[in-house]
Amino acid sequence: MSVLLAPEHVLALLLIAVSCALVVVAARLSPGRWLRVLAVVLVIDEASWWVYLLAGGVPGSQLGQSLPLQLCDAAVFIAAAALWTRNQLLVEVTYFVGLAGTLQALLTPDLPQHFPSYPYWQYYIAHGGIVAAALLLVVGMRLHPRAWAVAWVAGLTLAYTALVGAVDALTDSNYMYLRTKPPSATLLDVMGPWPVYILAATVIGIVLFAILDAPFRIRSGALRTAPRRPPR
């Protein structure tokens, strides 16, 4: 049975949406209190996956082929570091990658396991946690992206993709789906064959970065052009 838009999928999305709204409100009411709590939850959730693999939780899986190299895996640790340190570059990577990339993984999950299995909970906690972290930091804590954030994050993402592509070639893996599309239905299915879908996904990602950045650039422009009140 496909997970996409199944009741268990819709329920997970609803719970994540409510949780994101709650953490943003909590950040506004009590700045800083929830950042490290969410950071710890993300790291524990990701680390528990490797324990699960080592214990044989996924029959036939190889730990060497399950390294944290998927973009969402890396985003978990980046989001946790951003929550813990409030470093501006880490915040920007969390915001753009979390909302442009991880959100797509939530809408079209590559998840063969179903509710109430451990992989189901682990997947949605990790991916939902990244989105929550992005919104908590940027909307709740008002750590808005800087003027050149899109260019910086796009460049870093492309460099990371090239690194993962080299790992795929050396190990015959398929991290970030750079060699073939995932078996489950995703948005990549409508982007053409390999390697066209990689180029299409790159262009769409950069466009989404720009869209996510637009409200802050519009706000900055409005503040610069707003008439200043004369001193009293």
Question: Crossing angle, helix 118-135 and helix 88-97, to 10 degrees?
Answer: 120
Average pLDDT, the chain: 87
| Cα–Cα nearest to 113, from 216, 194, 209, 2 | 2
Integer Cα distance of 17 and 127 in angstroms = 12
Mean pLDDT on 73-84: 95
**Which range, of 23-27, 57-61, 78-82, averages the lowest pLDDT?**
57-61
Q: pLDDT band at residue 3, thresholds of 50, 70 and 90?
A: low
Higher pLDDT, 193 or 111: 193
Domain ranges of the chain: 7-218
Determine the residue type at 41. Answer: V
Query: pLDDT at residue 62 above 70?
Result: no
Closest by Cα among 111, 103, 112, 114 to 7? 114
Weakest mean pLDDT among 27-31, 86-90, 132-136, 145-149: 27-31
